[in-house]
Amino acid sequence: MSATADAYVLHHDTAFGAALALVADELSEAYGRFADFNSPHEGKAVIEEELDELWGLVKANTGDTATACGEAIQVAAMALRYVIDLCDPLEVVRAEREAMSTHSERTA
């Protein structure tokens, strides 16, 4: 685990915080090694490749091993990368807030 992940886990001593730190580390490594996803097809293919590797471990009845957990972390990191590279997450948040505001105004 990197220093970033270690620091995060120390400050957020939960399984959720630890998992997020591991995913963040994996995502950071991926950005250091590979270019952004160029298309939804490419992003889906990368996620599917990681998921297939996890599925192979699950089918072999080794889905609860450290190797399988590492594959699950890669799946989560690549799903997050898909959102970052292809979905404009800031715009999604703005749209959701606007929708919630409009809904609140209608129900008030």
**pLDDT band of 93, cuts 50, 70, 90:** confident
User: d(Cα 20, Cα 80) in Å, to the nearest integer?
Assistant: 11
User: d(Cα 19, Cα 84) in Å, to the nearest integer?
Assistant: 18
pTM of the model: 0.76
Give per-residue pLDDT as tens, 27-77.
Answer: 999 999 999 999 999 999 999 999 999 999 999 999 999 999 999 999 999
Domain ranges of the chain: 1-34, 38-108
* pLDDT tops 90 at residue 100: no
